[in-house]
Structures are given as C-alpha cells and as structure tokens.
Structure 1
Amino acid sequence: MKIRVISVPVQDQEKALKFYTEKLGFVKKIDVPLSEDSRWLTVVSPDEQDGPEVLLEPSPIHFEPAKVYQKSLFEAGIPYTQFNVEDVQKEYERLKNLGVEFSVKPTEMGTVKIAVFNDTCGNNIQIVQML
C-alpha cells in the first residue's frame, strides 16, 4: 500500500486553495467540479508533484457528526494533520511574516520540534521537524 491522497476538511474550498498555495506554498494538482458547490481539489508539495496529494475536501454541511468532530478538534487545539518541514523555526518565521496565526510556537518535544497554526478553514495544522 501507498499513501496517495489524504483529505483535510475545509469550510470553503476557494479560501483553502488560496491559503494552501499562497501561504503554505503547495501547488494545485487537480481541480475537477463535482457539483455546484463541491470540487475534487488537491494540492501537492512543489518538491514532490507526483507525491501524496492533500484533498481540500468540503466539510460535510449536512453531516452533523463530521461538523462536530472538526469543530471539537479545533477548539481543543488538536491538529487535524501534520506536515514535515526541514526547519520548524524558519518555517514558523516565514509563515508568521505572511500573517499565519500560530497557537503553538516552535517547541521541542523529545526527538521532534513542532509548531501549530490555524489554516483559516477550520483546522489546526502541525508542522514537524525531526531532530
């Protein structure tokens, strides 16, 4: 088995696309309309454009358990997912300069350094550096 696509629920796909490309630096890979208000929309790392894709999946509007789950994770400060980076401090400073809001500043935890930010689409996202 291989990881091909992971999904991140987002409250607004267009806003998410802008944040994930303009702030985080991902590039759009696939954008296929599925309905009036939904698209199969993926982004990838510019360094691994044939690697795993992040599906910016619309949060289920009519499925209350999913809405409660996403909101509960966010309010508890728990990251929905994480992305690896070479240098958490450097990435933290770059993103802060772009206006990204962090709930956890760079922190060493055993063999990793982490930081957590708000993706503006209903999720906390963690960046991780292996030490």
Structure 2
Amino acid sequence: MSRSRYWLFYIVIAFAILGLGNYLWTDLTAFIKNLLFIAAFAAIIIFLVTRFRGTAVHTRKEHKAFIKAAKYSKKRLKMKAEQKNNSASRSISKPSFKKSIQSKKKSAPHLTVIEGKKGKKKDKASL
C-alpha cells in the first residue's frame, strides 16, 4: 500500500468515528436499539449455523458408525447361535471329554499384548 492509501484509510476511519459520535449525541436510544438488533441477529445466525452444520455432521458420522457396529454385532451373534445349535446337535454323539477341552477360555484374536519396560523405573532425579 502506498502512503496515499494509508492517508485515505485514516480519513475514512476518522469520518466513521465522527459520524458515530454524532449519532450517539443526537439519538442514543436508536443507537442502543440498533446494537441490540445486531446482537440478536448475530445470535440467531450463530445458533442456526452451529445447530444444523457443526454438530449434525459429527452426529451423523457417529450414528453411521453405530449402525455399522450394530449390524456386525447382530451378524456375529447370529453366527455364534448357529454354531451353538450345530454343535449342540453334534455334542450328543460326541464323547464328553472333548467338551471340557472346548470350555477352556481362548484369548481374543483382536487383542494383542504390548510388551514394554515395566520393570524399569524412571530416574526421578533426572526429571
């Protein structure tokens, strides 16, 4: 920006301040009403934007993830029930010692053990 543009900017700001001062001096109640109207309008706009745009996107994503997890869970439970029904009909003819082997708990395949330095304590003097 050249120097002449800076001066033009300062002149416009000075006229705005003079106009605002004149408006306050001549009609203070109208100025306060205008400020209240602007504040109310801004509050309504902010409310509408946050209500319909900001949180709706977040909740839609969570809802889709919940629906997907629920479908997966139902499918998994249905498969387990079918396997249980099939194994129940087979277990009548099977010997009982196999049942005790199957009843042992197996570790979940989706869980892993992360080994770390649990035995080593931090040197508190170095902190």
Structure 1-normalised TM-score? 0.18
More relative contact order in 1 or in 2 (CA 8 Å, sep 6+)?
1
The structure with the greater share of residues assigned to helix is: 2
The structure with the greater share of residues assigned to strand is: 1
Structure with higher Rg: it is 2
Structure 2-normalised TM-score? 0.18
